[in-house]
Structure 1
Amino acid sequence: MSHVIDYYFAPVSPWAYLGHARFGAIARAAGATVRVRPVHINAVFAVSGGLPLARRPAQRQAYRLVELQRFSRHLGVPMNLNPRHFPVPPELAAKLIVAVALHDGDEAAMRLAGAVFAAVWTQERDISKPAVLSQLLDECGLNADRSVLAQQQPVDAQLDENTRLAIEAQVFGSPSYVLNGEIFWGQDRLDFLREALAA
């Protein structure tokens, strides 16, 4: 029986960016199905004790940059530690990824999510801008009308449902990979996820 992994993330998450390609490769190698579930991350934080970056203590913010640089080098994943367009509101990007998941499937949504992450963390593009998101759709070979569908009620409802499911699963940060009810939080837990898929 094929494994199913629920992939919870915020479209602006640097940690989700660092793990995204590797996660996709692990899932494919295991023949696992990925359900792409962007969330309202601040709603997740609100019930789990997390804080938006700007509200974290200075020493935590400083150490975050150290760890991002370490992992970028360790993984060989290029990254701008201080991108021009971060933080920006992630809702439009989250809705677009949801719209693609609903209408084109999770594999297409994985491609778009990867393009969104790269736009923020390597390309200095503002993913809160509709024009940028339209460009990303085109670059991923996806239908331009997904931008229209992203503004409709079914997508809002699905994004809210993703957030509810994340909270119900006791997710508290981005990225979180949930397999058979077990949470693997953070791209640095992907080796554990691989082991669980092989078990």
Structure 2
Amino acid sequence: MAHIDYFFSTLSPFTYLAGTRMEEVAAKHGATITYKPVDVTTLFGRTGGTPPKERHPSRQELRAQELTRQSKKLGMPLNLQPAFWPTNAAPSSYAIIAAQNAGGGDLGALVHGFLRAVWAEDKDISQDDVVRAMLADAGFDPGLADSGLLTGAETYAANLEEAVTRGVFGAPFYITDDGQRFWGQDRIADLDLHLSGQL
């Protein structure tokens, strides 16, 4: 059975634009998924990247244009200047890790719920009430926001180290069990073709 390690940030607009298409591809091929939220700003620094706000204006302008084009193409609302960005990604990331460990809900919906909250709903995903609501909406126990803190923090740190070791440098980033790496929501179709044996 195929497997996908999914490295992402709950603050990444390009991860938001991925929607749940990767989950649909995985289901099509019977592939399992391990969700690995990472601190993408630290990841940039560790792998030669630059956080968006520190990039040259020409790069920032193109990023804004590309986000607008992609959101229109995908039919997904996107606020280029969300009210709560950047914010602390740790609480949402810990909740995802705890939910994955607990099982019983829809992890893809949980991840996308946090991203939609940032980029389309102007919600602060660092706040406890938002985290609890997202967990409940995706079919998980809201209490995971409390019980998963210690394990979540340890796993979140370990995910970053694993990402650096395995050649991850941005989000979203997909690695298959045969070592193929795919960076960006615009490479999900290539991931699909690879799992089909066509790439």
> What residue number does 2:139 align with?
141
Q: Using the alignment, how far apart are the partners of 1:155 and 1:87 within structure 2?
A: 20
Q: Is the 8 A contact 1:11 1:117 kept in 2?
A: yes
1:90 aligns with 2:89: yes
Q: Using the alignment, how far apart are the partners of 2:156 and 2:19 within structure 1?
A: 19
Q: Using the alignment, how far apart are the partners of 1:125 and 1:196 within structure 2?
A: 36
Q: Using the alignment, how far apart are the partners of 1:25 and 1:77 within structure 2?
A: 17
Q: TM-score, normalised by structure 2?
A: 0.93
Q: CA deviation at 1:63?
A: 0.9
Q: Is the 8 A contact 1:6 1:37 kept in 2?
A: yes
Percent identity of the aligned residues? 32
What is the one-letter code of the residue matched to 1:79? L
What is the one-letter code of the residue matched to 2:152? V
Q: Is the 8 A contact 1:7 1:175 kept in 2?
A: yes
> What residue number does 1:171 align with?
168
Q: Is the 8 A contact 2:93 2:152 kept in 1?
A: no
Q: CA deviation at 1:31?
A: 1.0
Q: Using the alignment, how far apart are the partners of 2:35 and 2:106 within structure 1?
A: 10
Q: Is the 8 A contact 2:9 2:172 kept in 1?
A: yes
Q: CA deviation at 1:42?
A: 2.3
Q: Using the alignment, how far apart are the partners of 1:59 and 1:129 within structure 2?
A: 33
Q: CA deviation at 1:4?
A: 0.4
> What residue number does 2:100 align with?
101
1:22 aligns with 2:16: no
What is the one-letter code of the residue matched to 2:32? T
Q: TM-score, normalised by structure 1?
A: 0.93
Q: CA deviation at 1:33?
A: 0.5
> What CA deviation, in whole Å up to 9, does each residue of 1:107-142 have, x standing for no partner?
632221111011111111110111111111222221
Q: CA deviation at 1:83?
A: 1.3
Q: Using the alignment, how far apart are the partners of 2:103 and 2:67 within structure 1?
A: 32
1:156 aligns with 2:156: no
For structure 1, which runs of at least 5 residues remain unmatched after alignment?
Answer: none
Higher percent of residues as helix = 1
1:39 aligns with 2:38: yes
Q: Is the 8 A contact 2:71 2:78 kept in 1?
A: yes
Q: Using the alignment, how far apart are the partners of 2:159 and 2:106 within structure 1?
A: 18
Q: Using the alignment, how far apart are the partners of 2:2 and 2:162 within structure 1?
A: 18
Q: CA deviation at 1:45?
A: 1.3
1:116 aligns with 2:114: yes
Q: Is the 8 A contact 1:98 1:109 kept in 2?
A: no
Per mean C-alpha deviation after superposition, the further-off stretch among 188-197 and 137-146 is 137-146
- Three-state SS of the structure 1 residue aligned to 2:106 is helix
Q: Using the alignment, how far apart are the partners of 1:160 and 1:188 within structure 2?
A: 27
Q: Using the alignment, how far apart are the partners of 1:138 and 1:22 within structure 2?
A: 22
> What CA deviation, in whole Å up to 9, does each residue of 1:150-170 have, x standing for no partner?
322x22111122112111110
Q: CA deviation at 1:91?
A: 1.1
Provide the aligned length of Structure 1 versus Structure 2: 196
- Three-state SS of the structure 1 residue aligned to 2:35 is strand
